[in-house]
Amino acid sequence: MTTQTKRATVYFDPNLHKALRLKAVETSRSVSDLVNEAVRKALSEDAEDLLAFEERADEKLISYEEMVKRLKKDGRI
């Protein structure tokens, strides 16, 4: 099965590009494959965060001060 791909120009910091090339060689994968995987993972994490925000949308908001008080009361700070 052939997948369609789109071409894009991405400018990397030289050290980051070098690290990507080295990882590509060591893992027998292309730089494009590594970048696609990283972007896919980042977008997936964003989707999880958005879902969590939606699930908590009806929760009462509390102030920063109240949160600090709760953390101290619970022994977390």
State residue 67 phi and psi, 5-degree precision. -65, -45
User: What total of structural domains would you count in the chain?
Assistant: 1
- Of 38, 29, 35, 44, which is closest to residue 8 (Cα–Cα)? 35
pLDDT digits 0-9 by tens, 1-41: 567 899 999 999 999 999 999 999 999 999 999 999 999 99
Structural domain includes residue 55: yes
Structural domain includes residue 1: no
Domain that holds residue 42: 14-73
Structural domain includes residue 59: yes
Look at phi and psi of residue 65 and say left if phi exceeds 0, alpha if psi is from -120 to 50, else beta: alpha
Structural domain includes residue 4: no
Structural domain includes residue 9: no
Is the pTM above the cut of 0.95?
no
- pLDDT on residue 3: 77
